[in-house]
Structure 1
Amino acid sequence: MARNATRTSPPDPSGGEDPRAWYDELTDDLLYDPAIGRSTMMGYPCIRLAGRFLASYDEKSGRLVVKLPAARVAELVADGTGQEFAPAGKVFREWVALGPAERDRWQTLLAEAVAFARSTLG
């Protein structure tokens, strides 16, 4: 969609970019590492590092979902940056969801998710 200087509607919280396109762009940037690849998780598109899930995209809500240490997830939920990831009502304590309004943090948290996944490799 072209930007119009006379636009009167409120700005798109995703910064004018489709959240899925933003997810794809950010995760494409991670694919330089041969250990990182695309997959699916519970029907959602995701990326893995050496077979371990590290991030996903929730198509229904337009949210990035990343796997981080439980304490970091609790911090992000407590400060309002993220929301618990609870598909079908079950909270995943090492996963946090970030909506399009937080897209300026998506890249940083993807990097944290990669570092966390690397730290769990044997």
Structure 2
Amino acid sequence: MTRRAPDQPEDRFAALVEELADLDGVTPPGAGPGRRFGSDALKADGHIFAMLSADRLVLKLPRARVDELVAAGEGTHFDAGKGKPMREWLALDPASELPWPQLAHEAYAFVHP
């Protein structure tokens, strides 16, 4: 029997969703119509602020904060597959030890001031 490690990205994201689900205006993944972009993301008032993409936590943060984290080697600018990195989106490096909940709260505060 194969057992998943408790720190798998899917498990960490599920724990993050559970932690943030009760915040004002938050919609958890899967709530809403269809399977379109953002259907597996955390949203605040309809705005995506955190999602899991290719096993990486992706967060919407102020451009200066994203630039700071990229410069520190904590991640990269997220590219949604269009060949153009998005300035206000961070794809956290899987090796980063930054706490997911803290970053997700920052992202929530950015889209839900």
**TM-score in terms of structure 1 length:** 0.75
Which structure dedicates a bigger proportion of its chain to strand?
1
- Determine the structure 2 residue equivalent to 1:36: 26
Gaps of 5+ in 2: 30-34
Instruction: Give the Cα separation in 1 of the matches to 2:42 and 2:7.
Output: 21
- Aligned residue among 38, 42, 51 for 1:56: 51
Gaps of 5+ in 1: 3-14
- Determine the structure 1 residue equivalent to 2:96: 102
Instruction: Give the Cα separation in 2 of the matches to 1:35 and 1:105.
Output: 22
Identity rate, percent? 35
Instruction: Give the Cα separation in 1 of the matches to 2:26 and 2:46.
Output: 8
- Determine the structure 2 residue equivalent to 1:10: none
Which structure dedicates a bigger proportion of its chain to helix?
1
- Determine the structure 1 residue equivalent to 2:32: none
Instruction: Give the Cα separation in 2 of the matches to 1:35 and 1:116.
Output: 13
Which structure has the larger Rg?
1
User: Runs of 4+ in structure 1 displaced over 3 angstroms?
Assistant: none
- Determine the structure 2 residue equivalent to 1:12: none
